[in-house]
């Protein structure tokens, strides 16, 4: 079966389809000893070379895309190699069948929670692109006074150093005093955006955990530092959220029903529960 070259390269985990198109234009890719052309179709029997290194393709049924959900603990960085020698999120991941793991978004060293990894570069690109407005949900523990006008400002939008930003939704989820918890939703992934939004209101984030990315929820039973492959139904939901055709997938584990948290915030609504 033949596929367009940029799609084959993206599925191999080298980057997004758009990036691969740029590589082809720049002459970084050869097919059977000749400079590749944008849009040409290739099969797994052809010799593809990228930056002087041969890309070893497997038959289509052996190179189905993989996606992992990983529970990131505090203290790990999201780069492949850290010059300071700190542990990275990639060190505990199993080896993919083909290609390499691509992180879907990042979490800073002081943030824990859900990270997605995939071998499909186009999927990763779509899930991170702001135009898709893929929801990211976080559980946040705050220090400081929070009132309704503040929540309304955070939903309406506040100016940060890199432009206006806002939460799509925010909801109080329990706690008192120094342990007040909120759940917030973003539809983009700017650097430290959750922390910076709260800090703009004079409030400090003392704990931050990502609990959902698009349709994928962090299950309680997935311990910190552990990962698991997505079930077939989850893969289907994720590809649909990214606006991509759903690939043929064989579920690595039996299907299980995933319960959504009952405290999931409603979109475009800020609420505060008062204890009287």
Catalytic residues: 108
C-alpha 11/C-alpha 98 separation (Å) is: 9
> Could you write out the DSSP letters of every residue in the chain?
--EEHHHHHHHTTSS-HHHHHHHHHTT-EEETTEE--TT-EE-TTS-EEETTEEE----GGG----EEEEEEPTT-BSSSS-TT---BTTTTSPPPSSS--EEES---TT-EEEEEEES-HHHHHHHH-GGG---EEEEEEEES---HHHHHHHHH-EEETTEEE--SEEEEEE--GGGEEEEEEESS--TTHHHHHHHTTT-EEEEEEEEEETTEE--TTS-TT-EEEPPHHHHHHHHHHTT-PPPP---SS---PPPPPTTPPPTT-EE-PPP-
The pair of structure tokens assigned to 111 is 């943030």
Would you say 137 and 210 are in contact if contact means Cβ atoms under 8 Å apart? yes
Q: Encoding tokens for residue 223?
A: 């311990």
Q: What DSSP string runs through 155-207?
A: HH-EEETTEEE--SEEEEEE--GGGEEEEEEESS--TTHHHHHHHTTT-EEEE
């Amino acid at each position: 079966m033949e596929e367009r070259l940029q799609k084959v390269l993206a599925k191999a985990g080298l980057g997004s389809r758009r990036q691969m198109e740029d590589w082809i234009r720049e002459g970084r890719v050869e097919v059977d000893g000749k400079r590749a052309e944008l849009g040409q179709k290739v099969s797994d029997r052809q010799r593809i070379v990228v930056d002087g290194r041969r890309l070893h393709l497997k038959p289509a049924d052996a190179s189905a895309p993989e996606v992992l959900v990983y529970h990131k603990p505090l203290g790990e960085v999201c780069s492949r190699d850290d010059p300071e020698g700190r542990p990275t999120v990639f060190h505990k991941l199993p080896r993919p069948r083909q290609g390499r793991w691509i992180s879907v978004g990042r979490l800073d060293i002081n943030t824990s929670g859900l990270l997605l990894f995939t071998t499909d570069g186009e999927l990763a690109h779509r899930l991170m692109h702001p135009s898709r407005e893929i929801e990211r949900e976080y559980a946040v523990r705050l220090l400081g006074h929070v009132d309704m006008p503040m929540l309304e400002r955070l939903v309406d939008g506040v100016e940060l150093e890199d432009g206006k930003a806002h939460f799509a939704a925010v909801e109080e989820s329990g706690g008192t005093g120094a342990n007040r918890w909120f759940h917030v939703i973003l539809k983009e992934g700017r650097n430290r955006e959750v922390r910076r939004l709260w800090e703009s209101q004079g409030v400090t984030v003392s704990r931050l955990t990502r609990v959902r990315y698009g349709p994928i929820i962090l299950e309680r039973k997935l311990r910190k530092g552990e990962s698991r492959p997505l079930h077939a139904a989850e893969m289907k939901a994720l590809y649909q959220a990214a606006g991509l055709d759903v690939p043929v997938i064989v579920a690595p584990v039996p299907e299980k029903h995933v319960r959504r948290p009952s405290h999931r915030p409603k979109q475009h609504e800020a609420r505060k529960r008062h204890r009287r």
